[in-house]
Structure 1
Amino acid sequence: MDTFAALSSGKRLLVVGIDVLLQFGTTFSGLAWAETRRSDHQSVIETWPASFGRQEGTSSEKVPTQLRYTQKGIEWGFQIPASVERFQWFKLGLANGDQSIVGDRARTSDGLTTDYLTELVKHLMYTLEQKIGNTTLETTPIEFCLTVPAIWSEAAKDKTLKACQAAGLKSKTEILLVSEPEAAAIYALQGLDPHNLKIGDTFVLCDAGGGTVDLISYTITALHPTIKVKEAAAGSGEVCGSTFLNRRFETFLRDKLEKLPQWDEEILTDAMERFESVIKKQYLPSTFDQDGYKVPVPGLPNNVKLGIRRAKLTVTPAEMQDIFEPIIGSVIKLVKNQISATKTTVKALLLVGGFGQNNYLKDRLSTSLPKSVIVMQPPNAWTAVVRGAVMMGLARANSNLAAVGLVSRVARKHYGIELSILFDHLLHDASEVHWDTIEGNYRVAAMRWFIKKGDPVKEGQPIDIHCQQAYLVSKGRPQSLSIVVYCDDQTATAPVHKTKNSRKLVILHANLATLSQADLDKTIVTKMDLKDYYQICGSVQAVFSSASTKYMLLLQGKSYDTVTTEYA
Structure 2
Amino acid sequence: MDFDKLTISERKIIVGIDFGTTYSGVAWAETQRPDRRMAITVWPISKSNREGESSDKVPTKLRYNGDGDPEWGFSIPVTAPADEIIEWFKLDLDPSLQAMGTAVTSAATRGARNVDKLVTDYMSALGDHLMYTLREKLGEGVVKSTPLEFVVTVPAIWSDLAKDKTRQACQKARGLSASKAPIHLVSEPEAAAIYALHGLDPHGLETGDSFVICDAGGGTVDLISYTITNLKPVLEVQEATPGSGALCGSTFLNMRFAKFLKAKLGKVDGFDDEVLADAMEKFEKTIKRQFTLTARDDETFIVPVGGLANNKELGISRGRFALKASDLRVIFEPVVQEVIKLVKDQIAASKVAIKAVLLVGGFGASNYLKERLRNAVDPSVQIMQPPNAWLAVVQGAVMKGLALSAPERLTQVRVQNRKARKHYGTEWRVRYEERKHAALRGKKHWCGLDGCWKVYTMEWFIRRGDAVSENEPFFTSFVWTGPISQGRIKKIKMDVYADRTSRDAPLARDDNVNLLCHVEADVTHIPESQLPRRRGADGQWYYELECKIEAVYLSASTQYTLLYNGQRYNSVTAEYV
Task: Classify 1:102/1:215 alpha carbon distance in 2 versus 1 (closer, same or farther; 3 Å).
Answer: closer
Equivalent of residue 168 in structure 2, options 162, 165, 180 = 162
Deviations 1:326-376 (A, max 9, x none): 100000111111111111111111111111110011101111111111111
Per-residue deviation, 1:95? 5.9
Q: Given the alignment of the two structures, is residue 318 of structure 1 paired with residue 362 of structure 2, yes or no?
A: no
Structure-1 residue corresponding to 2:142: 136
Q: Which amino acid aligns with 1:489?
A: R
* Separation in 2, partners of 1:103, 1:190: 39
1:465 match: secondary structure: strand
Task: Classify 1:190/1:94 alpha carbon distance in 2 versus 1 (closer, same or farther; 3 Å).
Answer: closer
- Preserved CA contact (<8 Å) 1:525 1:533: yes
- Counting only pairs closer than 5 Å after superposition, residues 11-30 of structure 1 correspond to structure 2 as 12-22=11-21, 27-30=22-25
Deviations 1:540-566 (A, max 9, x none): 111111011211111133322231011
Q: Which amino acid aligns with 1:148?
A: V
Q: Which amino acid aligns with 2:56?
A: E
Task: Classify 1:225/1:73 alpha carbon distance in 2 versus 1 (closer, same or farther; 3 Å).
Answer: closer
Which range moves more in the overlay, 7-16 or 544-553? 7-16
* Separation in 2, partners of 1:100, 1:115: 17
Structure-2 residue corresponding to 1:416: 425
2:434 match: secondary structure: coil
2:35 match: secondary structure: coil
* Separation in 1, partners of 2:312, 2:286: 24
Structure-2 residue corresponding to 1:386: 394
Structure-2 residue corresponding to 1:59: 54
- Counting only pairs closer than 5 Å after superposition, residues 44-193 of structure 1 correspond to structure 2 as 44-71=39-66, 73-84=69-80, 85-90=84-89, 91-94=91-94, 101=107, 106-168=112-174, 169-170=176-177, 171=179, 174-193=182-201
Per-residue deviation, 1:36? 1.1
Equivalent of residue 36 in structure 1, options 12, 31, 38 = 31
- Preserved CA contact (<8 Å) 2:92 2:109: no
Per-residue deviation, 1:112? 1.2
Task: Classify 1:148/1:11 alpha carbon distance in 2 versus 1 (closer, same or farther; 3 Å).
Answer: closer
Task: Classify 1:540/1:437 alpha carbon distance in 2 versus 1 (closer, same or farther; 3 Å).
Answer: closer
* Separation in 2, partners of 1:368, 1:103: 36
* Separation in 2, partners of 1:357, 1:282: 10
Per-residue deviation, 1:483? 1.0
How many pairs align? 558
- Preserved CA contact (<8 Å) 2:209 2:355: yes
Q: Given the alignment of the two structures, is residue 194 of structure 1 paired with residue 202 of structure 2, yes or no?
A: yes
Per-residue deviation, 1:430? 4.1
* Separation in 1, partners of 2:105, 2:241: 36
Q: Which amino acid aligns with 1:78?
A: F
Q: Which amino acid aligns with 1:528?
A: A
Q: Given the alignment of the two structures, is residue 436 of structure 1 paired with residue 432 of structure 2, yes or no?
A: no
- Preserved CA contact (<8 Å) 1:446 1:497: yes
Which range moves more in the overlay, 315-324 or 43-52? 315-324
2:342 match: secondary structure: helix
Q: Which amino acid aligns with 1:176?
A: H
Per-residue deviation, 1:310? 4.0
- Preserved CA contact (<8 Å) 1:460 1:545: no
Task: Classify 1:435/1:265 alpha carbon distance in 2 versus 1 (closer, same or farther; 3 Å).
Answer: closer
Structure-2 residue corresponding to 1:365: 373
- Preserved CA contact (<8 Å) 2:301 2:323: yes
Structure-2 residue corresponding to 1:404: 413
* Separation in 2, partners of 1:149, 1:314: 36
Deviations 1:228-254 (A, max 9, x none): 111001011111000100000111112
Q: Which amino acid aligns with 1:355?
A: F
1:300 match: secondary structure: coil
Structure-2 residue corresponding to 1:504: 515
1:229 match: secondary structure: strand
Per-residue deviation, 1:10? 6.9
* Separation in 2, partners of 1:11, 1:411: 31
Q: Given the alignment of the two structures, is residue 234 of structure 1 paired with residue 242 of structure 2, yes or no?
A: yes
2:562 match: secondary structure: strand
Q: Given the alignment of the two structures, is residue 469 of structure 1 paired with residue 465 of structure 2, yes or no?
A: no
1:379 match: secondary structure: coil
Structure-2 residue corresponding to 1:281: 289
Equivalent of residue 303 in structure 2, options 282, 295, 298 = 295
- Preserved CA contact (<8 Å) 2:356 2:381: yes
Which range moves more in the overlay, 6-15 or 523-532? 6-15
2:113 match: secondary structure: strand
Per-residue deviation, 1:539? 1.3
1:482 match: secondary structure: strand
- Counting only pairs closer than 5 Å after superposition, residues 248-287 of structure 1 correspond to structure 2 as 248-287=256-295
Which range moves more in the overlay, 160-169 or 256-265? 256-265
Deviations 1:22-46 (A, max 9, x none): 4xxxx11111111111111111111
* Separation in 1, partners of 2:105, 2:169: 15
* Separation in 2, partners of 1:394, 1:102: 34
Report the TM-score when normalising by structure 2: 0.92
* Separation in 1, partners of 2:188, 2:10: 29
Which range moves more in the overlay, 430-439 or 535-544? 430-439
Task: Classify 1:539/1:173 alpha carbon distance in 2 versus 1 (closer, same or farther; 3 Å).
Answer: farther
Q: Which amino acid aligns with 2:536?
A: K
- Preserved CA contact (<8 Å) 1:92 1:113: no
* Separation in 2, partners of 1:419, 1:56: 58
Deviations 1:113-167 (A, max 9, x none): 1111111111111111111111111111111111111111111111111111111
Overall identity of the aligned pairs, in %: 48
1:210 match: secondary structure: coil
Q: Given the alignment of the two structures, is residue 546 of structure 1 paired with residue 541 of structure 2, yes or no?
A: no
Structure-2 residue corresponding to 1:513: 524
* Separation in 1, partners of 2:502, 2:508: 12
* Separation in 2, partners of 1:474, 1:240: 56
Deviations 1:523-547 (A, max 9, x none): 2011122110001121111111101
Deviations 1:202-230 (A, max 9, x none): 01111111111110111011111111111
* Separation in 2, partners of 1:512, 1:197: 52
Per-residue deviation, 1:469? 2.1
- Preserved CA contact (<8 Å) 1:92 1:159: no
Which range moves more in the overlay, 65-74 or 447-456? 65-74
Per-residue deviation, 1:299? 3.0
Per-residue deviation, 1:11? 6.2
- Preserved CA contact (<8 Å) 2:548 2:564: yes
* Separation in 2, partners of 1:369, 1:287: 21
* Separation in 1, partners of 2:509, 2:39: 47
Task: Classify 1:386/1:174 alpha carbon distance in 2 versus 1 (closer, same or farther; 3 Å).
Answer: same
Q: Which amino acid aligns with 1:441?
A: C
CA RMSD, aligned part only? 2.3
Per-residue deviation, 1:291? 4.3
Q: Which runs of 5+ in 1 are unaligned?
A: 1-5
Q: Given the alignment of the two structures, is residue 215 of structure 1 paired with residue 223 of structure 2, yes or no?
A: yes
Q: Which amino acid aligns with 1:425?
A: E
* Separation in 1, partners of 2:314, 2:27: 46
Q: Which amino acid aligns with 2:136?
A: Q
Q: Which amino acid aligns with 1:93?
A: L
Structure-2 residue corresponding to 1:3: none
* Separation in 1, partners of 2:422, 2:440: 27
* Separation in 2, partners of 1:463, 1:40: 35
* Separation in 2, partners of 1:362, 1:42: 27
* Separation in 2, partners of 1:197, 1:485: 40
* Separation in 2, partners of 1:132, 1:303: 56
* Separation in 2, partners of 1:81, 1:482: 51
Task: Classify 1:173/1:507 alpha carbon distance in 2 versus 1 (closer, same or farther; 3 Å).
Answer: same
* Separation in 2, partners of 1:403, 1:274: 38
Report the TM-score when normalising by structure 1: 0.93
* Separation in 2, partners of 1:102, 1:187: 32
- Preserved CA contact (<8 Å) 2:87 2:107: no
